[in-house]
């Protein structure tokens, strides 16, 4: 009984230290004063000023556009790759999956510097295009990992039956395979969108002058001192990412329940 309480207390302390700073940030985003040491009353003016700031709005536009484009393209490529990997023989599939896990396990700073050097070597000017390509690159493995479990659950005889009934391979893929693995595809898309929305390190090394996302903008503003608008912006980003992660986790939980 005592051990049970100690475990709960230990978990509470861990989560407290993890989330207490975020809670403080959220509370002070509604503070009337710029000071972080005193509470002068409730206000929404920092949120209003936030949406009137052209630099932040430009970064928000870049962030959303890159997140949507990169997650969409990565989902298409990752889904096709997952189908191809699933149909490989065991040895080849294991080899390809080990390569697929590398970008996931690789430190972001290594990936960011590697992509930057690649773009410079190819003489591609750093900017919106390189930022988009970088986000597509690191999103693809996560889509593959999300789609593969649904392919493993799929009854292969359904596809063969569709072919026997006269469907072409492409028609059977669109009408049989894709609908069956759609939950995994949606999960991969949401996960890719969340990662793109939240990325800083890779974006920092692969963007050029005049193009920045919210993470880079917050970093630049924080170097000049903590502005209450940063608290408001960070609060919005935290809530958005939290909601997306809850959706992804719920979808993955449903997938695991069905698999079991």
pLDDT on residue 252: 63
106-120: burial string, b at 16+ Cβ within 10 Å, e else: eebeebbebbbeebe
Using one digit for the tens of pLDDT, what is the confidence trace for 38-74?
777 888 888 888 888 888 888 888 999 999 999 999 9
CB atoms within 10 A of CB 128: 16
CATH T-level assignment (fold) for domain 54-259: MetI-like fold (1.10.3720)
Q: How far apart are CA 27 and CA 138, in angstroms?
A: 33
Structure tokens at 176: 């049989």
CA torsion sign for 217, 219, 124, 100 is: negative
Give phi and psi for 31, each to the nearest 5: -85, 135
- Tokens for 7? 């475990």
Say what the alpha-carbon torsion angle 204, 210, 213, 214 is, to the nearest 10 degrees.
Answer: 110
Q: Kindly write down the DSSP assignment for every residue of 186-242, as one continuous string.
A: HHHHHHHHHHHHH--HHHHHH--TT---HHHHHHHHHHT---HHHHHHHHHHHHHHH
Side-chain-side CA neighbours of 33 within 13 Å: the count stands at: 7
Question: Which pLDDT belongs to residue 76?
Answer: 94
DSSP 15-63: HHHHHHHHHHHHHHTTBSSS-SS----B--HHHHHHTT-HHHHHHHHHH
Tokens found for residue 136 = 């597509």
Rounded Cα distance, 9 and 13, in Å: 6
pLDDT in tens, the chain (260 residues): 677 788 888 888 988 888 888 888 888 888 887 776 677 788 888 888 888 888 888 888 899 999 999 999 999 999 999 988 988 888 888 888 888 888 888 888 999 999 999 999 999 999 899 999 999 999 999 999 989 988 888 877 787 788 877 888 888 888 888 888 888 898 899 889 988 988 889 999 999 888 888 888 888 877 776 678 888 888 887 888 788 778 767 766 665 555 55
Q: Which of 150, 169, 176, 170 shows the shortest CA–CA distance to 255?
A: 150
Q: What does the domain layout of the chain look like in residue ranges? A: 54-259
Query: CA 131 → CA 76, 89, 128, distances in Å?
Result: 18, 35, 5
Q: Return the pLDDT at 243.
A: 84
């Amino acid at each position: 009984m005592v051990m049970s309480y100690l475990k709960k207390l230990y978990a509470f302390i861990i989560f407290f230290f993890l989330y207490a700073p975020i809670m403080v940030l959220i509370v002070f985003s509604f503070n009337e004063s710029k000071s972080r040491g005193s509470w002068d009353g409730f206000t929404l003016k920092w949120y209003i000023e936030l949406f009137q700031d052209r630099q932040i709005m430009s970064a928000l536009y870049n962030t959303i556009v890159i997140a949507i484009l990169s997650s969409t393209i990565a989902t298409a490529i990752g889904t096709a790759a997952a189908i191809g990997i699933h149909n490989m023989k065991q040895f080849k599939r294991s080899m390809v999956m080990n390569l697929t896990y590398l970008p996931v396990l690789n430190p972001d700073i290594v990936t960011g510097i590697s992509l930057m050097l690649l773009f410079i070597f190819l003489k591609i000017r750093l900017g919106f295009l390189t930022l988009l390509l970088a986000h597509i690159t690191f999103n693809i493995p996560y889509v593959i990992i999300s789609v593969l479990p649904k392919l493993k659950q799929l009854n292969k005889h359904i596809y063969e039956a569709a072919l026997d009934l006269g469907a072409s391979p492409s028609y059977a893929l669109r009408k049989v395979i894709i609908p069956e693995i759609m939950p995994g595809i949606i999960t991969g898309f949401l996960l890719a969108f969340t990662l793109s929305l939240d990325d800083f390190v890779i974006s920092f090394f692969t963007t050029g002058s005049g193009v920045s996302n919210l993470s880079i903008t917050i970093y630049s503003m924080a170097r000049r001192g903590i502005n209450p608008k940063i608290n408001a912006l960070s609060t919005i980003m935290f809530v958005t990412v939290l909601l997306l992660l809850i959706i992804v986790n719920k979808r993955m939980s449903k997938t695991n329940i069905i698999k079991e």
